């Protein structure tokens, strides 16, 4: 990509052989960078594993990666509300790593069990950027955004049924968050969230060197 | 009403004189019960105040009441996320009282400021029923429903703009709550929520006399 | 769950072995309480039946339960409009039992055949809480709510086609009910309705000991 | 109109003088038939009353009529759920009369008060066609259609707020009715309903002369 | 059914054996009337054909019928825009016959080929009621309703793709028809349309005996 | 504009003085071309008339134009279904003229009165491009597109109420047209339709010089 | 078709044998023109290839064609944003050819890589009509329409996930384009776009013979 | 706010006096920080100007600010597509300043006039964060996101009409952007975008001190 980031193949709607060919070609053109493929069907994941043994294949994230990872700068925390949100969180984490930032996961801290979330508050506050994944009512970003002032990227997941409308309810919840400073990406788009969070984290000054907000120079 | 509850006039779409006449007539027919009028325009509130001086006129709730209140049984807590939710919360509180339960208000405990909510946790747990009003992403019922197991009626309010879609986003959030045991009413329908909560509270056994959940007899 | 209720596994999107493992683990941690799993695929129902022979597997409700039921307090009536609503009604009934209330079913009393509904009116009036399931236009809660003043939880079902929009029409019908005091849950969410109704019923005072509505003390 | 029916002016979006001119011109061209104008703003109703004193102006229906009514054949019953539905019911009744059928009104028989509806059951069964108007959840046509087998035209009204979505919820309810044989028209379209019902009624054989359904010849 | 009409089984969501059992039982209870089953899956159609050899199985209509047809009174014309609308038109035609009216089909007269429609204008005008089926933009009822003043029941079909939204576009087109006197049923609901049209046709006076519209007595 | 077309001011949301200033400035910069302003409020129309007496102010189109019209090439026919569509048709006609094509209007040829449309069929066939405006069900483009093979730009108008959803129903109808070769623009966007139709017409070869479709060279 | 264009079979919802029969019949009736079949399932594509060896079968376009192509007049450029849009672009290109215009393809010029689009600007400007296909946010037509004043037909594709809503987001983007003169067709409707573009191109005067826009005669 | 940021008053739905009182109180409690009020009606802007002369009142942004601005760190560029987007861009710019980052505006660089956008490409690339405001089809963020890899916050504006659906089309466009790394906020929510962009910018290391993306340490 022109922006200096890794090339990414959107696997959805592509045949397994197309995915393998694209990964191989892009890797040859950019041997010094990671090449990523997302939204891969099980058959594509299998074929990549067989044909490109040097690739990292992440079955949960439904994604594959080829080539060297950039050295990480800054830290992104990927926070997920429920266990069903794992695929989206994994795609986000992989994308963060491929785009040059460090990454840690915090799982199963949904808003109906606040104690688990409150227990990790300091960890949240210490990150350079947060990716927060939640389905159903999508309330987790509001609660996290009320706890810490770290740049936050919210990802609605399609987990739910009936009036969850395939993730639209979670999306609307996040867009209407009463906590400000939350950027929202498309439903299940862990990739897009990971890119934005990595860009923020890797350009961040180390914590110790930052002035306090509002401090006079 | 056949269910033994107070008669209620839906003021919306009625002329002020119609409202006054209906209140007067219903009060004459049922002098022993409260008669309620909701969703009144300012002109209707004014005319009721002038023509029916014995009526209680609640400008915030946009409602009016005539006749004796039933003696309260049980306790309903009406919880509101933001100050803009006050009209809906006031309508709910008035409706609870008119339907025979005790009522207390807890305001301004939105999910972006958890400490205020956590501070009233015991009060929430001690109620017989909760009415929880929230606009925008409508996340408050999920958080409250994760804290206490009290029967909870959620009211989405139309507060917000843009993608709040006139309260539809809050409504969807509440319907998709990851905390179970939440009954949702129409957008801004403090009245319906108050009726349901009052019915629950007034038939509840006093706290002390209840068996612990799951206790063997 | 922190609220003292049984642990519940949402089966949707989980592999059969995950469901079995979760049920087994939660049962071990809480041997004194019921553990419930809902929205199970046929394969999961089968595996649970094979691997956990002591579990109750309800094929209609698409749910399974492990561990002792709490002794029931109060009575919930689960009312269904049509035979196609049976899975949702069964999930609700199971959830009521798991959450500590007594439960009875009334089936096939849709609004296009009023005589069947009118025939059970006294039974409806004697319950401590009602769960009312209906698909298509979702009109049953309005009619029931006009007959009796019992706390009512309405469940829209996804039964229908075309403009039923997967249950959204029934959901909208219930939210706009002209009878007050109806709390609505998500489409097909028998579980959530059961939890709310059980909480209401089990805290209710025995019928004989309640004061008449509006009675002076 | 080519179909032999009265000419009708859709008043919405027309200036009062345009309405008067159109009524006058059409009346001159068809002095032997009624000419109808619907959806008139208050200013248009006033101007018609002043300029065309021989016109019938119906302020509730927001409509005006000029010229002789056809002699009525058959009977249409216009049934309305609530008092707020009166404008739509009045528009329907006027349109029935203008299109050559007899008409009677039955008001305030909403589904939350079944006894009033059951009291008029014989009257419903004796009509040649029914127009049933209801807002909010729009459940009345389902209930009526379950009681009698008379051809039924359902009109959703825009009465309601929040999730009533300007009448869309009532419309969806009627389209998904579990009682068959219900034709639905646009929200608030009393006129269209009146035309269809009048056409049905005026071509109906007198009750006494009809064979019983299913009778062998 | 209480309305004197045939019993009807909604096949959707029922297992083939359930359908067979229901048909058999209802036929035994009402040997003198037709019993209808609609929206049958291919497996159900097959099983009915095998188990109930005396039944009429209509593969296009995806429906089956058992028992004697009532003798037909009046005439319904079922008009379809395209060949893809055939299943819905067939369901409508079968339902008309089962509900006691005569029926004829007119196919492939979509609005993009007006000459075919204009060629059958007299046939349209001679019917007692029309059922008009169309998908995509759903414009056919408007054009037919502008040609003849016969009572018209419009059925949107789910034929189309993309912005046809599963038939919603056709439904909206029909509800907003600029020709008055059109009653609309649910998407693909040939059954409901057939019931309404049959009721209208079978109570109609023979053509020759009707007074001209507007004629003085 | 870079495309060689006139500059256009979108008046909506601009104050009257802003509109006047923009028209004046753009006219000064491009004295040899027309400058157009659309979607003007009545106050803006008045101010333009007072301040720029040399401007053409079209009250029906809610638009104003300044500077010399290009000499017209080719012919666009602007066809409107109903009289309420006049503002949109007028905006389209003005835009056609400003963009260098000849223009004629055909009004009041809605699909419920086919004879008027059939009467102008030859005129339709002789145009180089058609703009077809219709509200409510938006069926007119389908019927016109079935009659003639001329490039057709369809404009849904916001005329209607209830389920017309502010023009969305007409828009959907046009997008799903069963006649191919129809390009659709935004609701009420006479301007955009006029630009496209003018571009088509002005580049068209004179009728006499065109080869018949499909003719071998 | 009455408009002089090739007959077209809409393959969707038809059985493979029906498609073959229709192609064969139409070809026999019109041996001098192309006959097209679109939206064919893989089975239909296979059967056509086997049964009609003289047919052109385009697997990417999911379409087949039989009979002689008309000789091309004018030039249509079919522009696609991404590789996933290829099926729609191929259907459009085939339809252009079948309707008598010349056609060229420009692929993979999405708005996130402007340099590729800017590189073909002269080619875009030289066409007689453009078909522009894009999924996801559907922004490509706006950018192209800002670069050149050529008549432009935009086709939203259903490529995307989550909030792309099956192509509705791309459709809305194109309808709201800030560049004027864009006609939009249904989602994935390459066929309809090809017909409109071919009609425009084949009636266009050769570039050299056209007057400059706005030139005085 | 607990996050260390300025207190902000949401003016919408509050009376002018309430706004003044809230600003005054919050300023007294936090004299060392800025206090912001957004979405103010004209009357509120006037009253603030009169009652709080030391406040900055921004009529375009419909906002007011009281108290000292923090010293700016980092740089946010606020980019707007059209002149009508000015209020949202102004609200964003003010919010950036109040939250401690430097800010510059780039206006009128919509996608239909690429040359203006390409002319500022270096300026875009040099910012620490971008806020990109666009209405109608909302395509600008995709194009900007394809040009530079700077963290980007997209704000859909409600500018448009018809199918723009009050900003929903622009919102959907931004969520479906084919350029990754874009965080979206609610329609017209310049405030939320400003907060997120300021948080990103103020924690960024100075440009010169950052490692190139992907560089090995
Ligand atoms: N999971 C994803 N969600 C959204 N966009 C993606 C995803 N994966 C890849 N992309 C985008 O799709 C583009 C590649 O599309 P393609 O050329 O069809 O492989 C990349 O430039 C990415 O920006
Ligand atoms: N049928 C259901 N519908 C909605 N929520 C459910 C359902 N079953 C379980 N849940 C909720 O899902 C949570 C468990 O999710 P999980 O940890 O993914 O198994 C429980 O706490 C329940 O509150
Ligand atoms: N009625 C209209 N509908 C849609 N777009 C329009 C309309 N009138 C003008 N425009 C577009 O709006 C742009 C001008 O916007 P502005 O700079 O805000 O005046 C022009 O370039 C036109 O393309
Ligand atoms: N891909 C397509 N999209 C939309 N309409 C089509 C398509 N292919 C064919 N059609 C239309 O469908 C009609 C044929 O329908 P049928 O008679 O059912 O085969 C033709 O007249 C075409 O106008
Ligand atoms: Mg969640
Ligand atoms: Mg809230
Ligand atoms: Mg039902
Ligand atoms: Mg009603
Ligand atoms: Mg059709
Ligand atoms: Mg029209
Ligand atoms: Mg695209
Ligand atoms: Mg824009």
Per-residue pLDDT tens over the stretch E71-119: 999 999 999 999 899 999 999 999 999 999 999 999 999 998 899 999 9
Q: In A, which residues are within 8 Å of H71 by CB distance? A: 214-217
Q: Min CA distance, F78 vs chain D (Å)? A: 21
Measure the CA–CA gap between H217 and H215, rounded to whole angstroms: 6
Do residues D24 and D55 make contact, with C-beta atoms less than 8 angstroms apart? no
Q: Widest CA span of chain C, in angstroms?
A: 58
Flag whether D touches H (3+ CB pairs, 8 A cutoff). no
Of B10, B14, B189, the CB nearest to D162: B189
Answer yes or no: is the C-beta of H84 below 6 A from any ligand 3 atom: yes
Residue E207: pLDDT band by 50, 70, 90 thresholds? confident
Question: What is the DSSP-derived secondary structure letter of residue B155?
Answer: E
Q: How far is CA A106 from CA A58, A69, D25, E68, in A?
A: 18, 22, 76, 68
CB-defined contacts B:D, below 8 A: 26
Taking CA–CA distances from H34, the nearest residue in chain A reads A214
Share of chain A above pLDDT 70, in %: 95
Set of chain G residues whose Cβ sits within 8 Å of the Cβ of F4:
149, 212-214
What radius of gyration, in Å, describes the C-alpha atoms of chain B?
18
A38 CB contacts (<8 Å, ≥6 apart)? A8, A9, A10, A11, A61, A62, A63, A91, A95, A191
Mean pLDDT value of segment B168-196: 97
- Chain G residues touching residue H173 (CB < 8 angstroms): 137-139, 169, 172-173
CA distance A19 to chain C (A): 26
pLDDT, position F212: 61
pLDDT in the model for residue H212: 60
Condensed to tens digits (0 to 9), the pLDDT of residues C146-170 reads 999 999 999 999 999 999 999 999 9
- Ligand 7 center to G40 CA (angstroms): 38
Please identify which residue in the block is written with the tokens 């593969």. Answer: E59
Chain centroid offset of residue C195 CA: 7
What pLDDT, on the 0 to 100 scale, is given for residue F57?
98
Chain C interface with E: residues with Cβ < 8 Å: 84, 113, 115, 159, 161-164
pLDDT digit string, tens, across residues E41-56 = 999 999 999 999 999 9
Those chains having 3 or more beta-carbon pairs within 8 angstroms of chain D are B, C, E, F
Chains that touch A (3 or more CB pairs under 8 A): B, C, G, H
Residue D118 burial (C-beta neighbours within 10 Å; 0-12, 13-18, 19+): middle
Least confident of F99-108, F129-138, G3-12: G3-12
**What pLDDT shows up at residue H213?**
54
From the CA atom positions of chain H, what is the Rg in Å?
18
Predicted local distance difference test score (pLDDT) of residue A90: 98
B94: its two tokens: 């008035």
Q: pLDDT tens digits for F11-66?
A: 998 999 999 999 999 999 999 999 999 999 999 999 999 999 999 999 999 999 99
Which of E87, E163, E164, E170 has the most G C-beta neighbours within 10 Å, making it the best mutation to test the interface with G?
A: E163
Assigned architecture for domain C75-202: 3-Layer(aba) Sandwich (3.40)
Question: What pLDDT is attached to residue G217?
Answer: 38
The reply to whether ligand 2 has any atom less than 6 angstroms from the CB of C21 is no
- Spatial separation of the C-alpha atoms in residues E169 and E186, rounded to whole Å: 12
Q: What's the rounded Cα separation, in Å, for the pair H206 and H197? A: 16
The verdict on the CB of residue C95 being under 6 Å from ligand 2 is no
| Ligand 1 neighbourhood includes H206 CB (under 6 angstroms) | no
Select the residue from A8, A10, A169, A174 to test the G interface by mutation, using most G Cβ atoms within 10 A.
Answer: A10
Give yes or no for residue F39 CB within 6 A of ligand 3. yes
CA distance A183 to A193: 9
Q: For B36-40, D133-137, E57-61, H108-112, which range has the lowest pLDDT when averaged over its residues?
A: H108-112
How far is it, in rounded angstroms, from Cα C92 to Cα A140?
27
Looking at chain G, the whole-number percentage of residues with pLDDT higher than 70 is 95
HSE, side-chain direction, 13 A CA sphere, residue B186:
24
Examine the pLDDT at A214 and tell me if it is beyond 60: no
Burial environment of residue E85 by CB neighbours within 10 A (0 to 12, 13 to 18, 19 or more): buried
Torsion of CA E186, E189, E193, E196, to 10 degrees: -80
DSSP B207: G
Ligand 3 neighbourhood includes F9 CB (under 6 angstroms): yes
pLDDT band at F210 (very low <50, low <70, confident <90, very high): confident
Q: What is the pLDDT of residue G214?
A: 44
Strand pairing partners for F152? F130, F182
For residues A117 and E89, what is the distance between their CA atoms, to the nearest angstrom?
A: 57
With CA atoms as reference, the chain F residue closest to H116 would be F2
What is residue A113's predicted lDDT score, i.e. its pLDDT?
87
**Best CA proximity match to C96, nearest among C39, C20, C153, C159:** C153
Task: Give every residue of chain H whose pLDDT is below 50, as ranges.
Answer: 2, 214-217
Distance, CA G164 to ligand 5 centroid (Å)? 21
* Interchain pair E162, G189: CB under 8 A: yes
CB contact under 8 A, E159 and G39: no
Q: Is the pLDDT of residue C106 over 80?
A: yes
Classify the phi-psi angles of B96: left when phi > 0, otherwise alpha if psi is within -120 to 50, otherwise beta: alpha
How close is the nearest chain C Cα to the Cα of E72, in Å?
A: 26
> DSSP code of B163?
G
CA angle G20, G25, G26 (to 5 degrees): 100
Mean pLDDT in chain C? Answer: 94
Under an 8 A CB cutoff, do B161 and H186 touch? yes
Span B152-180, mean pLDDT? 97
Q: How far is the CA of A108 from the centre of ligand 5 (A)?
A: 10
- Give the span between the Cα atoms of E85 and C68, in whole angstroms: 55
- The C-alpha atoms of residue D53 and residue D40 are separated, in whole angstroms, by 16
Proportion of chain D above pLDDT 70, given as a percent? 95
Q: Is F191 in the pocket of ligand 3 (CB under 6 A)?
A: yes
Q: Which atom of ligand 4 is nearest to the CA of E83?
A: 18
Q: Do G39 and G58 form a contact (C-beta atoms < 8 A)?
A: no
**CB of G131 closer than 6 angstroms to any ligand 4 atom:** no
- Confidence check: pLDDT of E216 > 60: no
pLDDT tens across F162-186, in order? Answer: 999 999 999 999 999 999 999 999 9
* Confidence band, pLDDT 50/70/90 cuts, at residue F215: very low
Say whether A159 and C13 touch across the interface (CB within 8 A).
Answer: yes
Comparing CB atoms, the residue among G13, G158, G167 nearest residue E84 is G13
Nearest to E12 among C115, C161, C163 (CB): C161
- Give every residue of chain G whose pLDDT is below 70, as ranges: 1-4, 211-217
Sign for the CA dihedral angle at C204, C208, C213, C215 comes to negative
Give the residue, by CA position, lying nearest to ligand 2 atom 6: C10
CA distance to partner chain E, nearest, from residue F211 (Å): 25
Q: What is the DSSP string of chain E?
A: -TTSSPEEEE-TTS-HHHHHHHHHHHHHH-TTS-EEEES--HHHHHHHHHH-TTSEEETTTTEEEESPPPPP-SEEEEEESSGGGHHHHHHHHHHHHHTT-EEEEE----GGGHHHHHTTHHHHHH-SEEEEEE-TT--HHHHHHHH--S-EEEEE-----GGGGGGHHHHHHHHT-SSSSEEE--TT-HHHHHHHHHHHHHTBPPGGGSPPTT---
Ordered DSSP codes for G27-46: HHH-TTS-EEEES--HHHHH
**Residues constituting chain E:** 217
Q: Is the pLDDT of residue B112 over 90?
A: no
Token look-up 């040939």 returns E190
Q: Which residue has the higher pLDDT, C208 or G70?
A: G70
Nearest C-alpha in F relative to H115 = F2
pLDDT for A210 beyond 90:
no
Read off the pLDDT of residues D135-158 as tens digits, 9 standing for 90 and up: 999 999 999 999 999 999 999 999
Helices (H), chain A: 16-29, 42-51, 86-98, 114-118, 121-126, 140-147, 168-175, 190-202
pLDDT for res F214? 45
DSSP H helical ranges for F81-189: 86-98, 114-119, 121-126, 140-147, 168-175
The length of chain G in residues reads: 217
- Tell whether ligand 3 has an atom less than 6 A from the beta carbon of residue F62: no
Domain boundaries, chain B: 7-66, 75-202
CA distance E161 to F7: 38
Query: What value does the mean pLDDT of chain B take?
Result: 94
ipTM associated with this complex: 0.95
Model confidence over B117-145: pLDDT tens digits?
999 999 999 999 999 999 999 999 999 99
What ligand is nearest to the CA atom of residue A163?
Answer: 2
Task: Tell me the C-alpha distance between E20 and E42, whole Å.
Answer: 13
Measure the CA–CA gap between E118 and E126, rounded to whole angstroms. 14
For ligand 1, say whether the CB of G160 is within 6 Å of any of its atoms: no
Mean per-residue pLDDT, A140-150: 96
Inter-chain contact B4–C214, Cβ cutoff 8 Å?
yes
Task: Check pocket membership of A39 for ligand 1, CB cut-off 6 A.
Answer: yes
Q: How far is CA H105 from the centre of its chain?
A: 10
The SS3 of residue D51 is helix
Confidence of residue D211 (pLDDT cuts 50, 70, 90): low
Binary contact (G2, E115; C-beta < 8 A): yes
Task: Give the range among A132-141, D107-116, H88-97, H142-151 with minimum mean pLDDT.
Answer: D107-116
**Chain D positions in Cβ-Cβ contact with residue F136 (cut-off 8 Å):** none
What totals of helices (H) and strands (E) does chain C contain, helices first?
Answer: 8, 9
> Distance from the CA of E182 to the center of ligand 8, in angstroms?
22
Strands (E), G99-145: 102-106, 129-134
Q: For residues E104-131, b (16+ Cβ closer than 10 Å) or e, as one string? A: eebbebbbbbbeebeeeeeebeebbbbb
């Amino acid at each position: 990509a022109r922006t200096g980031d890794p090339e990414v193949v959107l696997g959805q709607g592509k045949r397994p052989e197309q995915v393998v060919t694209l990964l191989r070609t892009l890797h040859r053109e950019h041997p010094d960078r990671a090449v990523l493929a997302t939204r891969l069907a099980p058959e594509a994941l299998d074929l990549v594993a067989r044909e490109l043994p040097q690739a990292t294949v992440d079955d949960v994230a439904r994604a594959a990666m080829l080539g060297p990872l950039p050295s990480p700068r800054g830290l992104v925390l990927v926070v997920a509300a429920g266990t069903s949100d794992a695929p989206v969180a994994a795609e986000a984490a992989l994308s963060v790593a491929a785009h040059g930032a460090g990454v840690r996961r915090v799982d199963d801290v949904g808003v109906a069990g606040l104690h688990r979330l409150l227990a990790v508050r300091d960890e949240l506050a210490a990150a350079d950027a947060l990716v927060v994944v939640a389905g159903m009512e999508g309330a987790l970003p509001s609660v996290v955004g009320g706890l810490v002032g770290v740049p936050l990227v919210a990802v609605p997941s399609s987990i739910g049924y009936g009036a969850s409308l395939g993730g639209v309810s979670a999306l609307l919840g996040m867009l209407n968050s009463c906590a400000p400073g939350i950027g929202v990406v498309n439903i299940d788009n862990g990739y897009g969230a990971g890119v934005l969070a990595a860009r923020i984290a890797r350009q961040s000054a180390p914590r110790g060197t930052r002035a306090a907000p509002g401090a006079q120079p």
